[in-house]
């Protein structure tokens, strides 16, 4: 395995850890308030944290070098993230975290389809079998 793959796995596992904490903290956080307000508060925290990181790392100059295409897709990604968070927090407010989180993670199937269609990533037997097993596990958890 090349170094970039090990790095990707490391950061993906950190992402999974913090996504799990996001679900637990979010479930507790939306118990008594509107999920849209909860999402707005969360977004401000993220905004301050990430822009602080950009400034601390001295990466603000790179802002001027972003291409229009890159900017467009980052904006679309941000809009998708915002909608995902709004719906996720609403689902957490009305449902069990143990039900909502697996359903949310079923987006894996869509990622697989979209990565093949739009990113021309290869669809291997390993990817198909892994996805089927994850989806089967999701169904076991929610049924």
Whether 100 is covered by a domain: the verdict is no
Domain of 47? Answer: 3-95
Whether residue 115 is found in the same domain as residue 142: yes
Q: In whole angstroms, what is the distance from residue 29 CA to residue 31 CA?
A: 6
pTM of the model: 0.81
Tell me what pLDDT residue 102 has: 85
How many domains is the chain built from? 2
Whether residue 79 is found in the same domain as residue 11: yes
Whether residue 78 is found in the same domain as residue 142: no
pLDDT tens string 68-92: 999 999 999 999 999 999 999 999 9
């Amino acid at each position: 395995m090349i170094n970039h793959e090990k790095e990707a796995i490391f950061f993906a596992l950190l992402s999974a850890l913090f996504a799990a904490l996001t679900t637990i903290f979010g479930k507790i956080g939306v118990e008594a308030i509107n999920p849209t307000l909860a999402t707005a508060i969360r977004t401000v925290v993220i905004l301050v944290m990430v822009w602080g990181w950009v400034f601390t790392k001295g990466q603000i100059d790179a802002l001027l070098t972003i291409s229009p295409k890159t900017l467009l897709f980052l904006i679309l990604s941000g809009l998708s993230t915002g909608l995902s968070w709004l719906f996720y927090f609403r689902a957490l407010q009305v449902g069990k975290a143990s039900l909502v989180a697996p359903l949310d993670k079923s987006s894996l199937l869509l990622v697989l389809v979209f990565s093949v269609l739009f990113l021309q990533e290869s669809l291997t037997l390993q990817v198909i079998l892994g996805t089927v097993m994850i989806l089967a596990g999701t169904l076991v958890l929610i049924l």
